[in-house]
Amino acid sequence: MGKESCINWGSLETYLSADIVVCGGGTAGVFAAIAAANEGADVLLVESQGGLGGSAVGGLVIPYMTVRIPGEPRCSYLHKELDRRVEEYFGEKYVKNSADPIIFGIIQEQMCAESGARVLLHATVCGAQVEEGRIRAICVACKDGIRKIEGKMFIDCTGDASLAVQAGAEYTKGHPKSGVNQPMSLRYLVDGVDMAAFGDFLDSFGDPATTSGRGGGSMYAAVWSKTESALKPLFREAIANGDLTEQDMAYWQMFRVPGREKGLAFNNPEFFDLKDACDPLQLTEVQLRGKAFIFRQLLFYQKYFKGFDDAYISNIAPMVGIRESRRIRAKYELTGMDLLRQRKFPGCISQCNYPVDVHGGADLFQDDLPEGDPEKPWYEIPYDSLVSVDLGNLLAAGRCAGADFVAQSSIRIQICCHSMGEAAGIAAAMSVERKAEPGQIAGEEVSARMRERGADFIE
């Protein structure tokens, strides 16, 4: 183990230091920082973008999904608080498990500020100083050069395990046979839609999966290349006329945006031919080619859909939608079979019944059904899946936590990432207070503290 470094650590002065340094201010990182600060720890949250919220904000990931367990929420205490504030802001316009990404990000930043956690934006992790199996410091690339940050405990919430990799930790990546990552997306928002006309248009198909939501639920529509749907004939017609390509129809999904009276969110285009979510050239292609796709799709809506005469693109995600890339080697690797068997753990830090959601992975668990207790239809994520086995003072939360390819496709939803971040923050604070390593902290203690704080888990 070990990663060669060209950084002269002796020449770098310490720029900032904290007891706990959280790398990545996204879906898991914000929660890790707040949870650790709420435990009284000195916390620094380091983020490469210009704001907090990660994929939910910069990637325009709407909605943030549910754990699909009866009697929801089954979630962290901070998720409940975030959702409470979202509902308070939107009032009658509130939609469960969804929010305008701009408001969502602002609320997370407010919660972080109130906790006392410090934040450093526009700082990208680019190196780690490791001594005797522990991270002593990291360096971050800033506008004015390389900066050194010291800490006692580190939490990798970068999504791509960037800190762990810089520190020389081993990792897994991609499909178990091919190594290919799940396909990437570039999401976007469209405003100026005549929602009444578009709603009538959707309802005219008589398909409950293509609906205005007037009879309950939310406005929604989807088209996939491998399944039939109400809108698919329009896509085929547009392809025949040269207005779309086959790839435009490969994966297309639309949602209503809460708080935007004339706004829609699109979970596409999706790129099945780009295979490495950590390759900067491929990430560049997603954003450049993706924008061409988005413009073509807007023209398609204006020509083939009702209600789009005055529609316009209001936002294109500044972040590529990455479903999966690198995952740490953890004390316990959660597996697809754990999900299928609905396995329970003593050190449970999250409960979920979200299905396997592997895009482009038709050979994995497509025909298998859960084998667990029908009275307890969910699986659990153990604390040990956050604990690095390669570095003594490193935890990881979010989509880079310790899970195999299949399990990661389910636990990557935001509500699970919130719980993982919260658990990592609490465990890191315990480690600092006790002068212990995360691997010496019992998952049962972390789970119990989450419950004390207000997390909802089923006994």
Specify which residues 443 forms β-bridges with.
Answer: none
Q: Judge whether 4 lies within some domain.
A: no
Where is the domain boundary, 290, 316, 342? 316
Examine the domain organization and report whether 89 and 126 are in the same domain. Answer: yes
CB 40 within 8 A of CB 171: no
Examine the domain organization and report whether 292 and 346 are in the same domain. Answer: no
User: What integer best gives the mean pLDDT of the chain?
Assistant: 94
Per-residue pLDDT at 283: 98
Per-residue pLDDT at 336: 93
CB 107 within 8 A of CB 85: yes
Nearest to 32 by CA among 17, 65, 54: 54
Examine the domain organization and report whether 49 and 163 are in the same domain. Answer: yes
pLDDT digits (tens, 9 = 90+) for 149-177: 999 999 999 999 999 999 999 999 999 88
Examine the domain organization and report whether 210 and 351 are in the same domain. Answer: no
Q: Judge whether 2 lies within some domain.
A: no
* Candidate ranges 7-11, 17-21, 359-363; pick with highest mean pLDDT: 17-21
* Positive or negative torsion for Cα 237, 241, 245, 248: negative
Per-residue pLDDT at 2: 41
Q: Judge whether 235 lies within some domain.
A: yes
pLDDT digits (tens, 9 = 90+) for 225-258: 888 899 999 999 999 999 999 999 999 999 999 8
Examine the domain organization and report whether 15 and 156 are in the same domain. Answer: yes
Q: Judge whether 139 lies within some domain.
A: yes
Q: Judge whether 458 lies within some domain.
A: no
Q: Judge whether 211 lies within some domain.
A: yes
Examine the domain organization and report whether 334 and 285 are in the same domain. Answer: no
Q: What percent of the chain has pLDDT over 70?
A: 96
Q: How many domains does the chain have?
A: 2
Examine the domain organization and report whether 115 and 216 are in the same domain. Answer: no
Spacing of C-alpha 111 from chain mean position: 18
> What domain range is 367 assigned to?
9-177+325-453
Per-residue pLDDT at 1: 38
Examine the domain organization and report whether 202 and 98 are in the same domain. Answer: no
Examine the domain organization and report whether 243 and 308 are in the same domain. Answer: yes
pLDDT digits (tens, 9 = 90+) for 263-300: 999 999 999 999 999 999 999 999 999 999 999 999 99
Where is the domain boundary, 283, 316, 349? 316
- 51 pLDDT more than 50: yes
Class of residue 76 by CB neighbours under 10 A (exposed 0-12, middle 13-18, buried 19+): buried
Q: Judge whether 192 lies within some domain.
A: yes
Q: Give the confidence band of 367 by pLDDT, cuts at 50, 70, 90.
A: low
Q: Which amino acid is at 246?
A: E
3-state secondary structure the chain: CCCCCCCCHHHCCEEEEEEEEEECCCCCHHHHHHHHHHCCCCEEEECCCCCCCHHHCCCCCCCCCCCCCCCCCCCCHHHHHHHHHHHHHHHHHCCCCCCCHHHHHHHHHHHHHHHCCEEECCCEEEEEEEECCEEEEEEEEECCEEEEEEEEEEEECCCCCHHHHHCCCCEEECCCCCCCCCCEECCEEEECCCHHHHHHHHHCCCCCCCECCCCCCCCEEEEECCCCCCCHHHHHHHHHCCCCCHHHHHEEEEEECCCCCCCEEECCCEECCCCCCCCHHHHHHHHHHHHHHHHHHHHHHHHHCCCCCCCEEEEECCCCECCCCEEECECCCECHHHHHCCCCCCCEEEEECCCCCCCCCCCCCCCCCCCCCCCCCCEEEEHHHHEECCCCCEEECCCCCCECHHHHHHHCCHHHHHHHHHHHHHHHHHHHHHCCCHHHCCHHHHHHHHHHHCCCCCC
Where is the domain boundary, 316, 350, 372? 316
Examine the domain organization and report whether 48 and 105 are in the same domain. Answer: yes
Q: Decide which of 429 and 216 is more confident.
A: 429
- 36 pLDDT more than 50: yes
Q: In this predicted structure, which of 84-88, 95-99, 135-139 has the lowest mean pLDDT? A: 95-99
Q: Decide which of 355 and 332 is more confident.
A: 332
Q: Give the confidence band of 4 by pLDDT, cuts at 50, 70, 90.
A: low
pTM above threshold 0.85: yes
Per-residue pLDDT at 214: 87
- 25 pLDDT more than 60: yes
Q: Give the confidence band of 355 by pLDDT, cuts at 50, 70, 90.
A: confident
Per-residue pLDDT at 225: 84
Examine the domain organization and report whether 292 and 359 are in the same domain. Answer: no
pLDDT digits (tens, 9 = 90+) for 114-143: 999 999 999 999 999 999 999 999 999 999
CATH number for the domain spanning 13: value is: 3.50.50.60
Examine the domain organization and report whether 170 and 205 are in the same domain. Answer: no
Q: Judge whether 1 lies within some domain.
A: no
Take residue 326 and report the two structure tokens written for it.
């690198």
Class of residue 247 by CB neighbours under 10 A (exposed 0-12, middle 13-18, buried 19+): middle
